[in-house]
Structure 1
Amino acid sequence: MVVTPAGLRFAGRMFPCTVGRGGVSDAKREGDGATPRGTHRIVGMLYRPDRMARPTNWAVPIRPGDLWSDDGGHEDYNQMVRAPYPYSHEALRRADPLYDLVILTDWNWPYAVPGRGSAIFMHRWRRPLFPTEGCIGLRPRDLAWIAPRIRFETRLIVR
């Protein structure tokens, strides 16, 4: 998968996509809204089983209480955690459909450097071409098409 200003290229097809409101950056920092430039491995997939069928046999259900730590001062920074969690975090099980299907990258993982930025996901966009907080946003149907075709060797290249 290659992300450029023209969109995301995967399996010989082009898909419109969005990047972070801070653009693409060589110096990603927590909260800057940027998408980090580089080559990123795909390390997991999460989905809402109450809203969709399992997209691959290795996708993990998002359960009530699943969160993502974005607290750079805590040892769980840039990891999935469970509620109750008193530190800064983002809910993975949302009322809106934004995270119904999430493809996880290895940005600043598994050994997170505090302040370098957390959770660069691929997920559905809020609306066409509306920027994300640093993730890659795709149309829901395109994300659903891509997800089952991801393999161990699949990489996300952001240029």
Structure 2
Amino acid sequence: MHKYVWTFVLGFLLGALHAVAKVPANSTQMVLTISDGWDLSTGQLYTFNRVDGRWQRHSIQARVNIGRAGLAWGLGLHAPQEGVQKREGDGRAPAGIFRLGDAFGYLSSVETGLAYRPMHVNQYCIDMPASPYYNQTVDVGEVGIEAVRGSSEGMRRDIHYGDNQYRKGIFINHNPDNMAGAGSCIFMHLWKKDGAPTAGCTSLSEPVMDQLLSWLNREARPVYVVLPLSEYLRKRDLWSLPQLDY
């Protein structure tokens, strides 16, 4: 009898552990995007500073585009969740809690507190699950031209595809272990236009991107949280997320 009681208790505790997200205690900046539903392709972005352990609203608020098919659970700082999971090519943006990485773009430098990586014509993000470089940005000069043949995405989209979407951007650390097929090359970048969905990234206007780049600081260890409203309301207290008025 005691064995079954302990099994139940252990299962309950493990379930509770997996429900709790891990926003690092030393992260003091958060970008939050809320959509109105799992299958919608637009959302609202907000920014927060953590002061004395409490999230306080910062000034940036803007409409953004997300995946053309909406959202699905990604791989990041949160524990695994039940529901639709992000997969390569599904047109969904990853939901959950993620670290924000370096800024990148076409310019030699930008005004930002993040580390900045200028992109050039030989840099590609690998989106082929069978590649040993899956979900990584590589330089053809280092890995060879064969490594990027297929559908790998050129990071200088102005040269390869004739658009400025990656003129300014921020790496989102989704799928940090580069698990094959779990989704790759997830960024914040400039939009084509308001309402134009992405393949899985978050896109926004250039003025809003400039505000984000200027505000974000790598010393603050910023995180990006993306959730549909229903899930945000369900997880808000459990995950100690900021309060929003709706």
- Could you state the TM-score of these two structures normalised by the residue count of structure 2? 0.60
State whether structure 2 residue 46 is matched by structure 1 residue 9: yes
* Contact 1:98–1:123, Cα closer than 8 Å, also in 2: yes
Which stretch of the first structure deviates more once superposed, 114-123 or 146-155? 146-155
Deviation at 1:33, TM superposition (A): 0.7
Shift of 1:87: 4.7
Q: Structure 1 or 2: larger helix share?
A: 2
In 1: Cα distance, 2:66 partner to 2:207 partner: 18
After superposition, the C-alpha distances for 1:50-107 in whole angstroms (9 at most, x for unaligned) are 6xx4233620110121110011101100001123233531010012110001100110
TM-score (ref. length: structure 1): 0.92
Q: In 2, Cα distance between the equivalents of 1:82 and 1:74?
A: 14
Distance 2:164 2:135 in 1: 22
Distance 2:131 2:150 in 1: 8
- 3-state SS, counterpart of residue 214 of structure 2: helix
SS in structure 1 opposite 2:174? coil
Identity %: 27
* 1:9 match: secondary structure: strand
The 5 Å alignment of 1:88-107 reads 88-95=151-158, 96-107=163-174
Tell me which amino acid in the other structure corresponds to 1:154.
Answer: P
The answer as to whether partners of 1:70 and 1:88 remain within 8 angstroms in 2 is yes
SS of residue in 1 equivalent to 2:157? coil
1:54 corresponding residue in structure 2: 110
Q: Distance in 2 between matches of 1:129 and 1:103?
A: 20
CA distance in structure 1 between the aligned counterparts of 2:205 and 2:107, rounded to whole angstroms: 19
> Gapped runs of 5+ residues in structure 2?
1-30, 36-42, 48-57, 74-84, 228-246
- Tell me if the contact between 1:35 and 1:136 (Cα under 8 Å) persists in the aligned partners: yes
Measure the CA separation in 1 of the matches of 2:125 and 2:155: 7
The answer to whether the 8 A contact 1:123-1:135 is kept is yes
Give 3-state SS (helix, strand or coil) of 2:153's partner. strand
Determine helix, strand or coil for the equivalent of 1:148. helix
Indicate the RMSD between aligned Cα atoms, in angstroms: 1.5
